[in-house]
């Protein structure tokens, strides 16, 4: 009961996680990191020139449908900053917001929808007004009941940082973990907020290894001293997010399966032994007018009665177990009625199946032969 409940809760958790809306489409997307050494790329101009050259080089690569740069791809983490909204400045620390940087094709590569306003475009440049996108979670948190498009914000408390205009609201997406509620997130334009370490994301029909080979060749062509790092298919990132729960579920499922098999064998063995020991009693009952159905019912009822006691003890222990599984569950209550009921019915069914054959044997005892043996 304990093991089956644990496995059942984790199975339902995996089903919920695999069906949630990620906010992006990770199919056929490969990501890899590229870091520019500070000794060689010491200023904004050289860093921007490299990123622009790399994007231009890969734009025409056969098999690449879309290429973008970002501070971090979905599910691979991000940074944080304080958010100051023009007209709402306070003397205390500003509220925090998740924060990343992206090129104009990031939303198209990840298929993240624009809900209001616009995205970055190829016409946006470093010299233009500072631009920022915010997610729906950020809009709900910092501009409840109103549109943030047109508002001016600053990331960080430094007053020398220029104000950035919110030009669009984009859909929420999972930035770190599958089971985390998408946090408020701000996305700045990579020409205006220059990072020397970026994640390149490619939507491609190629295999991940082939996509990595093409990107690595393009990087070496621009700078032979550089190499791509941590190539990842986003589907692998999703699988990695699920891995701890999948491992725990598999482990519990294996032990639960073995325990269930042992329980069935044990119930069968004990019931069969009990029937053998009571052959004389069943023979006398049949000789005195009992019908086989009565004998069958006696054996089954007694076995089920013991099983129900065991299920009751198992239920109490399983309720205690769910406290330790709480951190692994998502979208499922630790005391999920459907899971507990399903496991209870499964075990009762297994008990009935295990005792049915010995019970049939008891109901088919020949009373004359039994009394003759006595």
Distance CA 228, CA 199 (A): 9
Residue 143 has what pLDDT? 94
Q: Provide the 8-state DSSP code for 121.
A: -
Residue 165 has what pLDDT? 93
Residue 212 near residue 228 (C-beta atoms within 8 A): yes
Residue 126 has what pLDDT? 66
Pairing of strands 164-170, 114-117: antiparallel
Distance CA 12, CA 299 (A): 36
Residue 369 has what pLDDT? 65
Listed in sequence order, the residues at least 6 apart from 264 whose beta carbon sits closer than 8 Å to its beta carbon are 350, 353, 354
Pairing of strands 164-170, 131-135: parallel
H helix and E strand count, the chain: 10, 11
Domain boundaries along the sequence of the chain: 2-12+242-373, 37-225
Q: Could you list the pLDDT tens digit for every one of the 374 residues in the chain?
A: 888 888 888 888 888 887 788 889 988 999 999 999 988 898 989 999 999 999 999 988 888 999 999 998 888 777 888 898 888 877 778 889 999 999 999 999 999 999 999 999 888 876 678 899 999 999 999 999 999 999 999 988 778 888 999 999 999 998 887 877 888 999 999 999 889 999 999 999 888 889 999 999 999 999 999 989 888 888 888 888 888 888 888 888 888 888 888 888 888 888 888 877 777 777 777 777 778 788 888 888 888 888 889 889 989 998 888 888 887 888 888 888 888 999 889 888 888 888 888 888 777 766 666 666 55
Residue 198 has what pLDDT? 93
Distance CA 188, CA 101 (A): 5
Residue 127 has what pLDDT? 65
Q: How far from the centroid of its chain's Cα atoms is residue 21's Cα?
A: 11
């Amino acid at each position: 009961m304990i093991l089956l409940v644990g496995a059942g809760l984790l199975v339902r958790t995996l089903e919920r996680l695999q069906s949630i809306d990620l906010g992006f489409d990770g199919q056929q997307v490969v990501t890899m990191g590229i870091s520019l050494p500070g000794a060689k790329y010491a200023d904004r101009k050289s860093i921007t020139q490299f990123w622009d050259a790399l994007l231009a080089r890969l734009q025409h690569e056969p098999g690449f449908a879309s290429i973008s740069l970002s501070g971090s791809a979905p599910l691979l983490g991000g940074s944080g900053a304080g958010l100051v909204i023009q007209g709402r400045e306070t003397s205390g620390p500003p509220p925090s917001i998740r924060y990343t940087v992206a090129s104009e094709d990031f939303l198209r590569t990840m298929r993240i929808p624009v809900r209001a306003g616009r995205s970055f475009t190829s016409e946006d440049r470093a010299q233009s007004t500072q631009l920022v996108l915010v997610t729906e979670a950020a809009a709900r948190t910092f501009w409840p009941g109103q549109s943030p498009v047109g508002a001016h914000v600053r990331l960080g408390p430094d007053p020398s940082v220029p104000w950035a205009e919110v030009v669009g609201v984009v859909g929420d997406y999972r930035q770190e973990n599958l089971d985390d509620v998408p946090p408020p997130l701000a996305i700045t334009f990579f020409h205006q907020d220059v990072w020397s370490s970026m994640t390149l994301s490619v939507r491609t029909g190629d295999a991940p290894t082939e996509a990595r080979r093409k990107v690595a060749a393009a990087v070496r062509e621009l700078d032979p001293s550089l190499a791509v790092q941590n190539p990842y298919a986003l589907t692998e990132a999703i699988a990695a997010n699920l891995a701890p729960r999948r491992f725990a579920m598999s482990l519990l499922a294996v032990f639960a399966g073995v325990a269930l098999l042992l329980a069935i064998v044990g119930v069968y063995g004990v019931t069969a032994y009990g029937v053998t020991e009571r052959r004389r009693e069943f023979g006398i009952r049949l000789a005195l007018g009992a019908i086989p159905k009565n004998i069958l019912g006696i054996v089954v009822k007694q076995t089920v009665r013991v099983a129900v006691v065991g299920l009751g003890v198992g239920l109490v222990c399983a309720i205690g177990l769910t406290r330790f599984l709480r951190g692994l569950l998502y979208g499922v209550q630790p005391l999920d009625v459907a899971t507990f009921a399903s496991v209870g019915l499964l075990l009762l069914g297994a008990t009935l199946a295990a005792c049915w054959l010995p019970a049939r044997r008891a109901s088919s005892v020949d009373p004359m032969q039994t009394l003759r043996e006595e």
